[in-house]
Structure 1
Amino acid sequence: MLYTEDLEELIFHRHQMHETDELIVLSGYLGPRPVARLEELPFNSTVIYGMYGSEGIKPTLHNSLTSIQGSAANLNIFYSQLPVHSKCYAWRRRGEIIHALVGSANFSVNGLTTPFREVLAETTFDTFRPLNAYIQHVLNNSISCLEIGTERIIESIINAEFCSMSLLGRDGEVQNAAGLNWGQNPNNHTTPNDAYIALRTQHIRDYPHLFQPKQINPQHLDNRGRMQRHNDSIEIIWDDGVTMEGLLEGSQPVNGMIYPKQISSFPAKAELGEYIRTRIGVPLGQPVRRHHLERYGRTDIQVSLLGDGVYKFDFSV
């Protein structure tokens, strides 16, 4: 069986079909949100970050994963010292694989929730033994996320791209009913704290590796019968360690391709607005103004890519 949609729910409910006591996740790249969700499962889970061996890991993602490791009693997170790009999900009983999925989907929100971009396929019984041996070989060459030294963390931030995204409108003020004040327009179908961060064409031109073009969704048509484009889910890790799920939404043409035009929180649009208001000391439900941001100490957010659909948002002063 081949799967192209709802991969996250597939992974987190597959154990209901099999008598298992362990889940092994081997993934080239990781996102903190699905890793943290493993604590909900009624058995032990092991997660291996595969590309650590060649790329190291960025400090923000490492700190998020070690925080999850410290709070989850039924989870072990490892970093492979071999460069491994595989994506394997194996359910075991008493150390033997009883069911497995392999394919292209990384264990991240972006890798598991974008329909038709990634696939996972069931493996057959005759692959269980060699797959188990392969996973054990990677594990034997892995270290706990709690054991690594700072040299591998520092190495991974060399040549990183950092995009400064302004929270102000083009007139130099926070917009009255857009951006951080998106929800302040009573005529919109929004709540007062709804917010987004504008993704401008210059950001895309200057940092082409940070933001990817939007893909067409073949199953969704607009009211004119035209195929709509995906709003890709991402994971956001803030400089203070807070994580949230985000959405690259809207559409704008850049260099002959269609890109998203804003970043919002997901599924609640107000999560982003509430978070920013709390950090800068503006009461919830009230509009944000430039002087609030200046009093806080900055009017922009520095954005960098940590991995597959995982971003760092730095709003520190």
Structure 2
Amino acid sequence: MYYISELESIALDEPYELGYRTLRILSGYASATFLTHVLNKYRDLEIELIIGMARKDGIKRWDHEQFKRIMAEFQNVKIRYNKTLPGIHTKIYHWTNGRLHNNTKTFIGSANFSWNGFRDQKELLAESHYENIVEVFEVKDAILCTDPNVEDYIKFYNVSVIGREYGDLSIQIRRREEQILRTSHYRLDYVDLPLLIQNDTAIHEIGGLNWGQRADRDPNQAYIPVPARIHQENMAFFPPRKQEFTMLTDDGEHMVCVIAQDNNKAIETPGNNSILGIYFRNRLGVTLGARVDVQDVVNYGRTTVRVYKLDSETYFMDYGVGTNGT
């Protein structure tokens, strides 16, 4: 039988609930935010992920850095890149558990291991059973993402914003930092999120950038407030609540974020809510752990952050002084 909707429920939730705990994935493309989501949702899952088109099309630098962090944090995860041509465009999800009577379950189809594949695009997966399915995972020329020589085989690319005007972004795609592949001009959706309240005369006392400023909390904890009107005016701008996305920044940082809290009022960094607070304190010149005051934000010269939507799981936060978001 084939499936064209609720792919996560069918190909991931149901096998896990049946007791399967080992998942081998061969996918042309994959995103670190979707892998982070899966690992947060299924805490005792063992995963082997092979990204088949890595050599041909490269890997996003921010995904690569997150893949390495995941490998360091989760001993039960192995991430490899196919390092030869032609690329492998296959999408296969193969579950095993030797303790179960029917100890394998396999899905094949068009869905990459990403939010695009499982949520945002029309894709197909079919449940199949072949005794020799394990042979497709014998990708001899795959290299661990943590291998010190990985950059000899795989091209990594960054997005660099080189110009902004009234919502337009001029973007350079660079591989290995020094090689400019192309420069593009995009008209992107964006929202401006206020860091202050009451017409920039006050700041949240135990919320926003000061979320951790209370007893028994890490004082660096913070979130970016998202006013209700933002969701009302553009309901499809942000992903659904608690679904991970990558936030790039104008100063070259990147972090995994989610929409969270009642009424979806916050952008947080799941797992460690201090990441955003440390980022903004460093940017504002505020001592780590200290309260952020109104004057800190005003003196910086920017009381809002502008968030652009690059795609359904990648956003760009502009907090540069003197840009059109001031």
TM-score, with structure 1 as normaliser: 0.58
Contact 1:106 1:308 in 2 (8 A): no
Higher helix share: 1
TM-score, with structure 2 as normaliser: 0.57
Q: Counterparts of 1:203-282 in structure 2 under 5 Å? A: 231=237, 233=239, 235-238=245-248, 239-245=252-258, 268-271=265-268, 277-281=280-284
Task: Name the counterpart of 1:113.
Answer: 119
Task: Name the counterpart of 1:162.
Answer: 161
1:311, distance to aligned residue in structure 2 (A): 5.2
Contact 1:167 1:300 in 2 (8 A): no
Q: Deviations over 1:206-228 (max 9, x none)?
A: xxxxxxxxxxxxxxxx9xxxxx9
Q: Counterparts of 1:38-53 in structure 2 under 5 Å? A: 38=39, 40-53=42-55
Quick one: distance in 2 between partners of 1:47 and 1:315? 35
2:194 aligned counterpart, secondary structure: helix
Q: How many residues align?
A: 246
Task: Name the counterpart of 2:67.
Answer: 65
1:184, distance to aligned residue in structure 2 (A): 3.6
1:94, distance to aligned residue in structure 2 (A): 4.6
1:78, distance to aligned residue in structure 2 (A): 0.8
Identity between Structure 1 and Structure 2 (%): 19
Task: Name the counterpart of 2:91.
Answer: 87
User: Which has the bigger relative contact order, CA under 8 A and spacing at least 6?
Assistant: 1
Task: Name the counterpart of 2:203.
Answer: none
Query: One-letter code of the match for 2:300?
Result: H
Mark the CA change 1:290 to 1:183 in structure 2 (over 3 Å): closer, same or farther: closer
Q: Counterparts of 1:114-133 in structure 2 under 5 Å? A: 114=120, 117-125=121-129, 128-133=130-135
Mark the CA change 1:278 to 1:97 in structure 2 (over 3 Å): closer, same or farther: farther
Task: Name the counterpart of 1:74.
Answer: 76
Contact 1:182 1:195 in 2 (8 A): no
Contact 2:226 2:265 in 1 (8 A): no
1:165, distance to aligned residue in structure 2 (A): 5.4
Contact 1:164 1:300 in 2 (8 A): no
- Gaps of at least 5 residues in structure 2 are 168-190, 200-206, 209-223, 270-275, 322-326
1:124, distance to aligned residue in structure 2 (A): 2.7
Quick one: distance in 2 between partners of 1:165 and 1:195? 22
Quick one: distance in 1 between partners of 2:27 and 2:153? 19
Task: Name the counterpart of 2:151.
Answer: 150
1:33 aligned counterpart, secondary structure: helix
Quick one: distance in 2 between partners of 1:104 and 1:24? 16
Query: One-letter code of the match for 1:194?
Result: P
Quick one: distance in 1 between partners of 2:296 and 2:115? 30
1:69, distance to aligned residue in structure 2 (A): 0.5
1:164, distance to aligned residue in structure 2 (A): 4.8
1:111, distance to aligned residue in structure 2 (A): 2.9
Mark the CA change 1:21 to 1:246 in structure 2 (over 3 Å): closer, same or farther: closer
